[in-house]
Amino acid sequence: MGTIAARYDRSAVSYERWWAPVLAPAVAGLLDDVDRVLDGPAPTRALDIGAGTGTLARAAVMRWPGASVVGFDGSAAMLDVAAAEADRTLEPAVAARLSWATGLAQAMPFADGSFDIVMSSFVMQLVPDRLAALREAFRVLRPGGLLGYVTWLEGGEPFQPDAIFQELVDEDALDDTLEAEEARSGDLPSATSAAAQARRAGFRRVSARVGTLEHRWTARSYLSFLERYDAADLFETLAPGARGRLRERTAERLARLTPGAFTWRAPIVSVFGRRPG
């Protein structure tokens, strides 16, 4: 994930400010689901694959007082932000139960059977080989250990504010193409295929549940999100005059929308499975 990791390195601080809060409800929902699926004591050793800026890892150490959690990610800069946020928001004794490690999801530097639970939020769509990543998760789980992850499902409703911005980019013939990057697994096509893939990786007692992630923007907050995170690379390539014109035209068009148009909804899927043992 070299190119992907480099992009996240560049955007780590803005990710925490602008994107992590959007994902936070689904992260909390994943932990709620984990607590329902657990049929024994709370985990004492947990791994967060693709920890990013640490939303899931921080929530896990707060929820499970006896657990140590490793946040694992391909981007060192994201983990730097995660560590800083943990120190800023958690009591020292709680933050001490967190540790951070970098590497690839399909080749993790952990011994077999190291964890009671392996979790992940919105990362399994980024890995180049999701089945390989799931098999690695299987390997590092102890027998009887639990896998739980949430990621994007294909499809979703059109989002008018984004369509407006893309129209303006096209009208001005701006270069909005992302740099070339490694292949990624992509969003999951269905809950059925997600469960089947977990079974192919070796998991049993598998379940998959479809849900919806919702976030309410305003015209002002969505423009800030575009300029400072989602389309930041594009804005930064523009000369000051062109940047200002794009900002002004976008603000003008967004202001014509009703407040309800700024409610963004995206389909997600949560997957759970046990390593036999």
Can you tell me whether residue 123 is helix, strand or coil? coil
Can you tell me whether residue 148 is helix, strand or coil? strand
The distance of Cα 116 from the centroid of its chain, to the nearest Å, equals 21
pLDDT score recorded for residue 39: 81
pLDDT score recorded for residue 2: 64
* Close Cβ partners of 62 (under 8 Å, ≥ 6 residues apart): 90, 94
Residues 108, 110, 116: CA angle, nearest 5 degrees: 110
d(CA 223, CA 227) in angstroms, rounded, equals 6
pLDDT score recorded for residue 5: 85
pLDDT score recorded for residue 173: 73
Task: Pick the closest to residue 219 from 249, 168, 256 (CA basis).
Answer: 256
* Domains of the chain listed by start with CATH number: 2-157+183-216+266-274 (3.40.50.150)
pLDDT score recorded for residue 176: 56
d(CA 33, CA 121) in angstroms, rounded, equals 13
Q: What letter would DSSP give residue 27?
A: H
pLDDT along the chain (277 residues), means of 10: 81 97 97 92 96 98 96 97 98 98 96 98 96 98 98 95 95 64 87 98 97 97 97 93 95 97 98 97
* Beta strand extents in 74-219 (DSSP E only): 98-102, 115-121, 141-152, 204-216
Q: Which phi-psi region, left, alpha or beta, contains residue 206 (left: φ > 0; alpha: ψ -120 to 50)?
A: beta
pLDDT score recorded for residue 179: 53
- pTM greater than 0.85: yes
